[in-house]
Chains A and B, each alone.
Chain A
Amino acid sequence: MQSLVIVAHGSHLNPDSSAPTHDHADTIRSIGAFDEVRTGFWKEEPSLREVLRTVEGDEIYVVPLFISEGYFTEQVIPRELRLDGWDVSQWDSDGLSADHTVITAEDIDRTVHYCGPVGTHEAMTDVLVRRAESVTGDSDVGDGFGFAVVGHGTERNENSAKAIEYHADRIRQMDRFEEVQALYMDEEPEVDDVTDFFETEDIVVVPLFIADGFHTQEDIPEDMGLTDDYTKGYDIPAHVDGHRIWYAGAVGTEGLMADVILERAADAGASIGDALEIVREQTRSAEPAMGD
């Protein structure tokens, strides 16, 4: 029996934090790729401490719904899941290349496949692009458009910026958008000055965040000048300094994220049949995302 366990941050304050985790879990459940799909949270329930004891399978794939390698994937999750003898060297990662390791979870005395975070998987690039398609309502968006990938910056985690650069590079290599730029909230180049970095009139801005919250709904829209007051919402596109900004909100809310979760589990050996094709098709939506 094959089980998928999606682990995520969650929040004591904001119910939207865990919503993408549940949505993607539901998507994967609906296509039956796993006998069982469970979710576990740092801040919600079931907690990371107790989620594994609710899991019934003997092939267990744990996929962290986090953007980058770092404190949570390397310390908090292994400790709370009680992964016996965990050492970050097991991932043999350069900060972007953690894929998976097999390790015993003491709580249930069964081995689990502990996967790298979704945010650094190459399939995440496709989700960023899909997000651009969703927010513009145009499945061919690219011509005449600039693309900004927005991250936190290195202040708290140097790998966070690595992930942003990685995906920005990959989008650039697609040669689909006129210009591609990595921008940050707390360091140069800053998202506040987004219009300085693009020649194109249209700019799609996609934050590489798992869930919408304080940063993606309040800080970034105000910093970019989409609105003076986030509580009033903003237009999509919003007109700023002669540019049209298509602000997409957190990439993690995009339905295609379920694909990356599946990719992580498949890379670790899960047998998922044609689930990837189904998810890619099922999560395609012509409806533009709503901004407020």
Chain B
Amino acid sequence: MSVTLDSIEPNQFDAFLSTLSSEDVIAFDDLYVRYEAKTDTYEFETNEITASRLSESELHEQARQASDYLTNWWFWSEVVGDEVPHLFAFLRFLEDGDEHPVVDRYAALADGMTKAWGQLQITTTLAQDGARQYEIRHVDDHDSSASTLDAYSDPLSARDIGTFDGKGRYRPLRTAPSLPTGWVFTELSARDAYETVDTFYPATIANWYREHQGTLDIDHWRDTAERQTGIYGIIDELAYDAVEHVAATCCTDSQCLKRREWQYDEETPLHAEGGDGIFPCREPCSLVVAAARKWTTLEREETETYTFELTPSEKEQIEDIIHAVADDETDDIREADVYEGANRYRARFLREKRMDEHGHLIEADAGHGHSDHSGHSDHEQDTHEE
């Protein structure tokens, strides 16, 4: 496919001239143009062409022949602009703008350049005038024909799409890897592409940009815990090991697509996996803080020794049930698949056999030990979110 757009729009050339008259020089990507007032001529240089002492009409012809360079300048300077640095940097990233020469990039854009951002697949293509157009869909829909997906154009639609997962469950964490499939945003402008991504994954672009600039502000666990007040004021009690468990529980790629950059404190790293995501996590989020509050109260309890009798298979079954819940696999276990420990019938059988009428495990030697045979704590239920 031909990569050269063989024309430039009058407004593009007007903007070009206007910039040259106010700034004398345009130097952008592989294009260098200079206006010399003394001779009223232009110098024009690209990777392929070097020309000087051009009149305005010669400049126009030169620009037309090198239209890729000119429309590239026009798009980045006039359409995108650099007023919002993270927006500019993100759109550049989408087409590897800082890595490939204009001509190669235009060749790639003709076919579409694709990047992943969390579970989003973002494809950049060229419109006739050299402006970019963007398509955003779920990465799992990469093979689907766009016509089979629900089409959207308003960036704010991303808010509703991202509110529930594919099973209709509320997603309290926008960066959880549970974005539903089946939708596509087409022919987005640069601004709308940015807004769509920022709506699916709020503030991830701004944080990614800060990280690239070396200015990402990281609040480690201790910073965050000590900042809390009200019902969350207790979470600074959590010991280092428990914070490791919190990070391993909540912050791996299977739970959240941000890459955890916060540690226990500035000097004390956490060893739990932080994930490989493209955008960073700069502090424990509100979900982690709220869960940590529960764990703080639970961690206050002392261990006790219980004696339960289980067959080896029953012990294994309890382990299976914990794994199935922890890995969100309960819905995948078929109703009649009694070979799975976390199968509903298997769990019901175990409950019939090993639990009393109050739903508590029956201890082997009920005569000894605990006055509270439930083994349950008497902590008040926490249902409020403050």
Contact = CB atoms under 8 A, between A and B. Distances in A.
Interface in A1-43: 9, 11-15, 22, 26, 41-43
B127 to A, nearest CB: 24
A59 interface: no
Interface of B: 83-84, 156, 159, 163-164, 170, 172-175, 198, 202-203, 206-207, 210, 217, 219, 227, 229-230, 282-283, 285-287, 290, 383, 385-386
B159 A47 contact: no
B203 A46 contact: yes
Given A49-B283, A76-B229, 12 more contacts: A11-B385, A12-B287, A13-B172, A13-B385, A43-B286, A45-B175, A45-B202, A47-B285, A50-B206, A53-B210, A54-B202, A56-B83
13 contacts: A12-B290, A15-B164, A43-B290, A43-B385, A45-B175, A45-B285, A49-B283, A50-B202, A51-B202, A54-B206, A56-B83, A56-B84, A71-B230
Contact of A26 (B156, B172, B175, B285): B156
A44 interface: yes
A51 B164 CA distance: 22
A55 B345 CA distance: 53
A15 B83 contact: no
Nearest to A51: B203
Contacts of A44: 172, 174, 286
Interface string A60-75: 0000000000010001
Nearest to B163: A15
B202 A15 contact: no
B249 to A, nearest CB: 15
A214 B386 CA distance: 13
B163 A53 contact: no
A280 interface: no
Given A12-B287, A26-B156, A56-B83, A45 B203 contact: yes
Given A50-B202, A54-B203, A12 B283 contact: no
Contact of B203 (A9, A12, A53): A53
Given A26-B156, A43-B385, A47-B285, A13 B170 contact: yes
A176 interface: no
A42 B229 CA distance: 13
A292 to B, nearest CB: 19
Contacts of B163: 15
A54 B230 CA distance: 27
B385 A54 contact: no
Nearest to A44: B172
B281 to A, nearest CB: 11
